[in-house]
């Protein structure tokens, strides 16, 4: 009788060991799969980060504040670059009005008055501005000129509005 009990315990222990082995093997395989997937995600995120860094570097090249030649041009006209940047942006934003469209925006407001939201000066001659009426929005490119009397003329060269 004790031989049967030992045989039963032996078989039970053997089944328990086989179960533990197969269970740990499945767990190990799942962890390896997760590690592989996370490694792929890490590589993809690094690639995306690098492309964003390159994009930011490229976009900062097109900025009045980053272009030495454009800064020299503005300074030769008697302005400090930071002050000129603020002056021109203020001149454009001052044309926003509560009761009528901004005259620089080449579209009439359909859901309100068109107003300029944001402006970026690309260099000493060109800029880009975003406008909206609260529902519809678009952008326009403009040229600006510094006159002898230090006044600034602005001319819209191209524009578009998003219809959807």
Cβ atoms 157, 143 nearer than 8 A: yes
- Together in a domain, 53 and 126: no
**pLDDT tens per residue across span 2-27:** 778 888 888 888 888 888 888 888 88
pLDDT at 54 over 90: no
Q: Which of 80-84, 108-112, 148-152, 154-158 holds the top average pLDDT?
A: 154-158
pLDDT at 159 over 80: yes
3-state helix, strand, coil in the chain (%, to 5): 50, 20, 30
Where among 42, 61, 80 does a domain terminate? 61
Using alpha carbons, select from 159, 105, 157 the residue that is nearest to residue 133: 105
- Together in a domain, 14 and 33: yes
Q: What mean pLDDT is predicted for residues 43-72?
A: 77
- The total of structural domains in the chain comes to 2
The torsion angle over the Cα atoms of residues 102, 120, 75 and 69, rounded to 10 degrees, is -140
- Together in a domain, 75 and 51: no
- Together in a domain, 79 and 137: yes
Give the pLDDT of residue 82.
Answer: 86
Determine what percent of the chain is predicted with pLDDT higher than 90: 14
**Domain range holding 16?**
1-61
- Together in a domain, 23 and 89: no
- Together in a domain, 95 and 55: no
* Average pLDDT for the chain: 85
- Together in a domain, 45 and 86: no
Q: 70 or 163, which is more confident?
A: 70
Question: Band of the pLDDT at 148, cuts 50, 70, 90?
Answer: confident
Using alpha carbons, select from 141, 138, 144, 156 the residue that is nearest to residue 87: 144
Where among 39, 61, 83 does a domain terminate? 61
Question: Band of the pLDDT at 59, cuts 50, 70, 90?
Answer: low
Where among 61, 77, 102 does a domain terminate? 61
- Together in a domain, 22 and 40: yes
- Together in a domain, 18 and 55: yes
| C-alpha–C-alpha distance, residues 40 and 26, integer Å | 21
- Together in a domain, 131 and 86: yes
């Amino acid at each position: 009788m004790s031989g049967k009990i030992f045989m039963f315990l032996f078989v039970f222990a053997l089944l328990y060991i086989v179960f533990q082995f197969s269970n740990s093997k499945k767990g190990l395989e799942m962890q390896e799969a997760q590690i592989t997937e996370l490694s792929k995600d890490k590589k993809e995120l690094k690639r995306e980060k690098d492309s964003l860094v390159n994009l930011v570097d490229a976009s900062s090249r097109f900025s009045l504040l980053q272009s030495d030649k454009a800064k020299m041009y503005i300074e030769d006209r008697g302005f400090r670059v930071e002050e000129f940047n603020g002056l021109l942006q203020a001149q454009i934003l001052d044309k926003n009005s509560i009761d009528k469209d901004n005259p620089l925006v080449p579209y009439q407001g359909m859901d309100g008055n068109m107003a300029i939201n944001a402006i970026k000066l690309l260099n000493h001659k060109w800029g880009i501005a975003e406008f909206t009426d609260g529902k519809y929005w678009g952008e326009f490119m403009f040229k600006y000129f510094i006159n002898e009397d230090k006044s600034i003329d602005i001319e819209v060269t191209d524009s578009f509005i998003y219809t959807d």
